[in-house]
Amino acid sequence: MTVHEERDVVIVGGGPAGLAAARRLAAAGLRVTVLDEQPELGGQYFRRPAPEVARVWGEHRPEGRRLVEAVRAAGVECRTGHLVWGVDDDGRTLLVSDPAEHPVRLRGRYVIVATGAYERPFPFPGWQLPGVTTPGFAQHLAAADHTPIGERVLLAGSGPFLLPVACSLLALGVQVAGIAEAGHPYRP
Ligand SMILES: Cc1cc2nc3c(=O)[nH]c(=O)nc-3n(C[C@H](O)[C@H](O)[C@H](O)COP(=O)(O)OP(=O)(O)OC[C@H]3O[C@@H](n4cnc5c(N)ncnc54)[C@H](O)[C@@H]3O)c2cc1C
């Protein structure tokens, strides 16, 4: 296993949260490394569309590109294609696979975990039928790829994420029949 030099801060996750932290910490003079398993930085919110889509629709959320540029300009070491799969007993040494799937050990005086959230689909009768999908997938298609998931959509689930999904669908001319919210997030 390769042992790399110790960094001041190692950040797991190059989405909006990890990038914002990296920019601040690097500006304060710390040596920062960002690790992300994806081939590009940006995470879910600033995910780049396919080049063919970008050619037709232009840049998706250009503030994401500007944030990545600012992070790189601040001297942050960015390692994409690096999957963090464990932490050693000291709690500060990350066990990582590089893009060639070689094991790497990377130690930070401080470690920030900014690995984001993920959808937790709740199985119900019919959830695998054609035309049923997760809000995240509908959002990915709509926001990044300008492709509506359907002509008329009912959103169901819980939490504020349903709202940006509804907005993205509406912006594409989709008829949003309603939002079925399982919780009570908007109760005063
Ligand atoms: C498909 C989808 C679409 C979304 N669209 C919107 C939207 O339009 N508006 C909105 O407000 N919110 C949206 N969200 C919610 C979104 O998660 C947050 O808004 C925002 O991206 C969170 O930023 P973050 O930096 O915390 O996490 P993320 O953006 O999720 O970034 C986390 C990063 O950590 C990396 N990572 C995770 N685990 C590891 C590991 N073990 N090793 C290395 N790297 C790792 C991931 O590759 C990822 O790049 C969406 C979520 C999904 C799933």
Angle at the Cα of 160 from the Cα atoms of 11 and 53, rounded to 5 degrees: 70
Q: What is the CATH number of the domain that holds 56?
A: 3.50.50.60
Residue closest via CA to ligand 1's atom 22 equals 116
pLDDT of residue 117: 87
Which is the closest atom of ligand 1 to the Cα of 38?
Answer: 47
Sign of CA dihedral 119, 123, 125, 126: positive
Rounded to the nearest angstrom, the distance between the alpha carbon of 118 and the centre of ligand 1 is 7
Top mean pLDDT of 5-9, 32-36, 90-94, 160-164 is at 32-36
The chain-wide mean pLDDT, for the chain, equals: 92
Which range has the worst mean pLDDT, 50-64, 90-104, 108-122?
50-64
C-alpha distances in Å from residue 111, one per residue of 102, 171, 181: 21, 39, 36
| Residues 141 and 98 reside in one and the same domain | no
Ligand 1 pocket member 15 (CB < 6 A): yes
Q: Is the pLDDT score of 1 beyond 60?
A: no
Residue closest via CA to ligand 1's atom 49 equals 43
Task: From 38, 80, 94, 115, give the residue whose CB has the most ligand 1 atoms within 8 Å, as the site to mutate.
Answer: 115
| Residues 10 and 85 reside in one and the same domain | yes
How many domains, in total, are found in the chain? 2
Ligand 1 pocket member 117 (CB < 6 A): yes
Closest CA to 20 of 2, 40, 1, 46: 46
Ligand 1 pocket member 139 (CB < 6 A): yes
What is the mean pLDDT of the segment spanning 162-176? 96
Range of the domain at 141: 135-181
What is the mean pLDDT of the segment spanning 78-87? 96
| Residues 165 and 108 reside in one and the same domain | no
C-alpha distances in Å from residue 164, one per residue of 140, 158, 181: 11, 13, 14
| Residues 78 and 23 reside in one and the same domain | yes
Rounded to the nearest angstrom, the distance between the alpha carbon of 9 and the centre of ligand 1 is 20
Rounded to the nearest angstrom, the distance between the alpha carbon of 86 and the centre of ligand 1 is 19
